[in-house]
Amino acid sequence: MKIKLSLEQFRDLFTKYNRADNFTYEAINLIYNHLIDEDDIDIVAICCQYNEMSFDEAVKYFNIDFDEESELIETCVYKYLTQKTFVLGVTDNTILFEVC
């Protein structure tokens, strides 16, 4: 019998495995919605597979050429990362993506 985790149970697993600081609350919601139908949830593997960065951090980390006058930073980062990897979603201040 397959047991489906609630969002709260899913969040609690991050605390249980000392990974509560890996993702924001909103990012955990995005991950949950993406993995809701998975049979086996491995929190450590999730933390290795996905990364969350602020848009400013992503510009610096990936050395994205960004023109502040012609484009929003969120749009620029989103376009760049969708060309390189799978983007799981965005929050108000961050982008959640699969590690390249």
Share of the chain above pLDDT 70, in %: 97
Q: Supply the pLDDT for residue 3.
A: 61
Q: Are 14 and 23 a contacting pair, CB within 8 Å?
A: yes
Q: For residue range 33-65, what is the model confidence (pLDDT) as tens digits?
A: 999 888 788 999 999 999 999 999 999 999 998
Reduce the DSSP state of residue 31 to 3 states and report it: helix
Whether the full predicted model's pTM is greater than 0.85, yes or no, is yes
DSSP-derived letter for residue 62 is: T
Taking the chain, what is the end-to-end CA distance rounded to the nearest angstrom? 35
